[in-house]
C-alpha cells in the first residue's frame, strides 16, 4: 500500500503548480487600455503556458462555467492568451477557484492571473463578439453554464455528487485514494464505494456543484496509476449522500462520530465485498489447476473443491480487487470443453478440513498462502502491468539461453498443443511469444506448463499476452 500511495503522490504533483501571480506581461497591441497597478482584480485574465496549437474552444472551456466571455485573444507563438469576462465578479470567481484548483489543458498545467489591462481593445472584434455570444448561448443550453446563475456558471439543480466508475482496475482504489485525488478540486464531504455489474464504483459528494463540475472536467478519462485504473465520471441524480457508517466502504468526512457498523453478509455478497469466488465447471479439476489459472489475476490463498459437487470449487484471493479481476477475465471462458462460470461467494472464508476429515476431503482443499508461485507478492510488482484477458498467444519468460525455439515448440507439442507461431523477443531472448490454436488451448497450456522446469533450476513462466505474432 505504501508503494501505491507513493505512485499516487507523484501523479498529483504533476497536476499541481504554483498559485497564480499578477501579470507583468506587456501586450504589443497598440490600442489596449492603459496599464494599471498589478494584483488588482480585472475582467481581463492572462493565461500562460498554454499547449502548442491550442484552440479557442479549449480556452473558452476553462471560463464558460463561471460566466460569459466577451473577448478572447490567443498568442499561440508565445503560448499565452487573454480573455475578458462579461463581469468582474465572474473573473474574480474564476480566479479564486483556479487558485485553489489549478486547471490543466491536455494534461498540461495552465497559469491564470489578473491582467494589468482593464479591458481588451483591439480591432475587428465585432465578429468575435458574435461568435463568443453564440458559443456562450450554446453552452447555456448544453448545461455548461446557466443564465441567471451566480456568476460561476453552475447549472440550477446541478448535483454536487459525482458517480465514478474505475475501469482497468489493477490496483486497489480505496476511500483515501479517492479523497486525495478529488480534494484537489474542492472540499470532499462524503464518499460511498461499491461494486456493481462487476465494476468498482463510487459516489462522491463535494461541498459545491462547481467543484464537482471542475473535477469531472479535469479527471474524466484520466488514469490514477500509469496505464490503469481509468476514471469514468458523470453527475449523479442524487443531490446528497446519506452515509450511515465510517468504514473502508463509506465515509462522511464531516462527522467523526459515526459508527463503523457491522457488515451484513447478504449485503456484502450483493456488493461484491467478499474476496472468495465460486467456480462452476462441468468437469473435475484439481486445486493446483485452479491455483495456477486464477493466480494469473491475483495471489490465490486457498482452493476448495466441493466434496459432493466436484464440478464446483471455492477460490480465495488475497483481496477483493484481485477477485474482481479474476471474475471479469475468466467468467465465460472454456476449459476442457466446458464453460467456466465464476461468481462471488457468500462464504466469508474458505475453511480448511478438520482433523477428522477423510483423505479425499483433505486432498480437495489446499492452502496456497505460502506458495512461491504467487505473481504479485511484491508490492508494486511489474506483473500488475501485464494482466490481460485469456488469449491464444502466450507470453513466455525466464527462458534459459540453452533452450532453443525448437525445444519450446517440442515441449508444447508433446503435451498435445498445436503451435501456430513462435517468436523470441528481439532485445531479450529470455522472453518469447507463442501462438496456439485457440484461447481454450492457451488456457490449458498455461495450467500445464507454467513453472515447468527447463534447465538448471530455471522454471518457465507463462502468462497471457496482449500482443499477437
Q: Given strand 111-114, what is the order of strands in its sheet?
A: 69-75, 80-85, 44-48, 111-114
Instruction: Examine the pLDDT at 156 and tell me if it is beyond 80.
Output: no
Rounded CA separation 383/391 (Å): 17
Instruction: Examine the pLDDT at 3 and tell me if it is beyond 50.
Output: no
In terms of DSSP bridges, do strands 453-455 and 458-459 run parallel, antiparallel, or are they unpaired?
antiparallel
Q: What pLDDT sits at residue 393?
A: 97
Q: What pLDDT sits at residue 149?
A: 43
Rounded CA separation 197/272 (Å): 10
- Give the pLDDT mean for 395-402: 95
What would the pLDDT profile of 58-112 be if each residue is shown by its tens digit?
A: 788 788 777 788 888 888 888 999 999 988 888 888 888 787 777 877 778 889 9
Distances (CA, A) of 344 to 172, 279, 317, 322, 359: 17, 9, 11, 12, 28
Q: What pLDDT sits at residue 133?
A: 55
Phi and psi (nearest 5°) for 294?
-75, -20
Q: What pLDDT sits at residue 363?
A: 84
Instruction: Examine the pLDDT at 387 and tell me if it is beyond 70.
Output: yes
More confident residue, 402 or 218: 402
Positive or negative CA dihedral for 319, 321, 325, 328? positive
- Buried b vs exposed e over 274-283: b needs ≥16 C-beta within 10 Å? bbbbbbbbee
Q: What pLDDT sits at residue 275?
A: 54
Rounded CA separation 155/240 (Å): 16
Q: What pLDDT sits at residue 35?
A: 39
pTM of the model: 0.48
Most confident of 98-102, 161-165, 274-278: 161-165
Asked which of 2-6, 114-118, 160-164, 301-305 is least confident by mean pLDDT, the reply is: 2-6
**Spatial CB neighbours of 235, under 8 Å, sequence gap ≥ 6:** 158, 159, 161, 162, 163, 212, 216
What would the pLDDT profile of 167-203 be if each residue is shown by its tens digit?
A: 887 777 888 889 989 988 888 999 999 888 778 899 9
Q: What pLDDT sits at residue 13?
A: 34
Domains of the chain (ranges; CATH) run: 44-114 (3.30.70.330), 161-252 (3.30.70.330), 268-367 (3.30.70.330), 388-464 (3.30.70.330)
Angle at 272 between CA 269 and CA 276, to 5 degrees: 80
Most confident of 26-35, 86-95, 116-125: 86-95
Mean pLDDT (the chain, rounded): 78
Rounded CA separation 270/345 (Å): 10
Q: What pLDDT sits at residue 325?
A: 82
Q: Which three cell numbers stand for residue 262?
A: 457491522
Q: Compute CA 422 distance to the chain's CA centroid, rounded to the nearest angstrom.
A: 33
Q: What pLDDT sits at residue 142?
A: 43
Share of the chain above pLDDT 90, in %: 31
- Give the pLDDT mean for 30-50: 67
Element containing residue 122 per DSSP (H, E): none
Q: What pLDDT sits at residue 351?
A: 84
Q: Is 167 helix (H, G, I), strand (E, B) or coil?
A: strand
Contact 246/259 with Cβ under 8 angstroms? yes
Distances (CA, A) of 103 to 62, 217, 264, 293: 8, 10, 42, 44
- Buried b vs exposed e over 423-456: b needs ≥16 C-beta within 10 Å? ebeeeeeeebbbbbeebbbbbbbbbebbeeebee
DSSP 30-69: TTSPPP--TTS--SEEEEESPPTT--HHHHHHHHGGGS-E
Three-state secondary structure readout of 229-293: EEEEEEECCCCCCCCCCCCCCEEECCCCCCCCCCCCHHHHHHHCCCCEEEEECCCCCCHHHHHHH
Q: What pLDDT sits at residue 260?
A: 83
Phi and psi (nearest 5°) for 368?
-110, 15
What would the pLDDT profile of 241-255 be if each residue is shown by its tens digit?
A: 999 999 888 999 888
Q: What pLDDT sits at residue 413?
A: 97
Instruction: Examine the pLDDT at 146 and tell me if it is beyond 50.
Output: no
Split at pLDDT 50, 70, 90, the class of 408 is: very high
Instruction: Examine the pLDDT at 19 and tell me if it is beyond 80.
Output: no
Contact 456/399 with Cβ under 8 angstroms? no
- Buried b vs exposed e over 72-87: b needs ≥16 C-beta within 10 Å? bbbbeeebbbbbbbbe
Q: What pLDDT sits at residue 6?
A: 28
Amino acid at each position: 500500500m505504501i508503494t501505491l500511495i507513493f505512485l499516487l503522490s507523484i501523479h498529483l504533483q504533476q497536476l499541481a503548480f504554483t498559485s497564480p501571480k499578477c501579470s507583468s506581461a506587456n501586450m504589443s497591441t497598440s490600442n489596449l487600455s492603459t496599464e494599471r497597478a498589478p494584483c488588482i482584480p480585472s475582467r481581463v485574465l492572462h493565461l500562460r503556458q498554454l499547449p502548442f496549437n491550442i484552440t479557442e474552444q479549449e480556452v473558452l472551456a476553462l471560463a464558460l462555467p463561471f460566466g460569459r466571455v466577451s473577448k478572447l485573444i490567443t498568442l499561440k507563438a508565445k503560448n499565452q492568451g487573454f480573455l475578458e469576462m462579461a463581469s468582474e465578479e465572474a473573473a474574480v470567481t474564476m480566479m479564486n477557484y483556479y487558485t485553489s484548483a489549478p486547471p490543466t489543458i491536455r494534461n498540461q498545467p495552465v497559469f491564470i492571473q489578473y491582467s494589468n489591462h482593464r479591458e481588451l481593445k483591439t480591432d475587428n472584434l465585432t465578429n468575435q463578439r458574435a461568435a463568443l455570444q453564440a458559443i456562450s448561448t450554446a453552452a447555456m443550453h448544453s448545461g455548461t453554464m446557466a443564465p441567471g446563475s451566480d456568476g460561476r456558471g453552475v447549472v440550477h439543480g446541478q448535483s454536487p455528487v459525482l458517480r465514478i466508475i474505475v475501469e482497468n482496475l489493477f490496483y486497489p482504489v480505496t476511500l483515501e485514494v479517492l479523497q486525495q485525488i478529488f480534494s484537489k478540486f474542492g472540499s470532499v464531504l462524503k464518499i460511498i464505494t461499491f461494486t456493481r455489474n462487476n465494476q468498482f464504483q463510487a459516489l462522491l459528494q463535494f461541498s459545491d456543484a462547481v467543484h464537482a463540475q471542475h473535477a469531472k472536467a479535469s479527471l474524466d478519462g484520466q488514469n490514477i496509476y500509469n496505464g490503469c485504473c481509468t476514471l469514468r465520471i458523470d453527475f449523479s441524480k442524487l443531490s446528497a449522500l446519506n452515509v450511515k457508517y465510517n468504514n473502508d466502504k463509506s465515509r462522511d468526512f464531516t462527522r467523526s462520530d459515526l459508527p463503523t457498523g457491522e457488515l451484513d453478509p447478504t449485503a456484502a455478497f450483493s456488493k461484491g465485498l467478499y474476496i472468495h469466488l465460486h467456480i462452476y465447471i462441468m468437469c473435475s479439476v484439481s486445486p493446483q489447476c485452479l491455483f495456477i489459472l486464477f493466480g494469473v489475476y491475483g495471489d490465490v490463498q486457498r482452493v476448495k473443491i466441493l466434496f459432493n459437487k466436484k464440478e464446483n470449487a471455492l477460490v480465495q484471493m488475497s483481496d477483493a480487487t484481485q477477485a474482481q479481476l479474476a471474475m471479469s477475465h475468466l467468467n465465460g471462458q472454456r476449459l476442457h470443453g466446458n464453460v467456466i462460470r465464476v461468481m462471488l461467494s457468500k462464504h466469508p472464508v474458505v475453511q480448511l478440513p478438520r482433523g477428522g476429515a477423510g483423505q479425499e476431503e483433505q486432498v480437495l482443499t489446499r492452502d496456497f498462502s505460502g506458495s512461491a508461485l504467487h505473481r504479485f507478492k511484491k508490492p508494486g510488482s511489474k506483473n500488475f502491468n501485464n494482466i490481460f484477458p485469456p488469449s491464444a498467444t502466450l507470453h513466455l519468460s525466464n527462458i534459459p539461453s540453452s533452450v532453443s525455439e525448437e525445444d519450446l515448440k517440442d515441449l508444447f507439442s508433446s503435451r498435445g498443443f498445436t503451435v501456430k507461431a513462435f517468436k523470441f523477443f528481439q532485445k531479450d531472448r529470455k522472453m518469447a511469444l507463442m501462438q496456439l490454436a485457440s484461447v481454450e488451448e492457451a488456457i490449458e497450456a498455461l495450467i500445464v506448463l507454467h513453472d515447468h522446469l527447463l534447465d538448471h533450476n530455471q522454471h518457465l513462466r507463462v502468462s497471457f499476452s496482449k500482443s499477437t505474432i
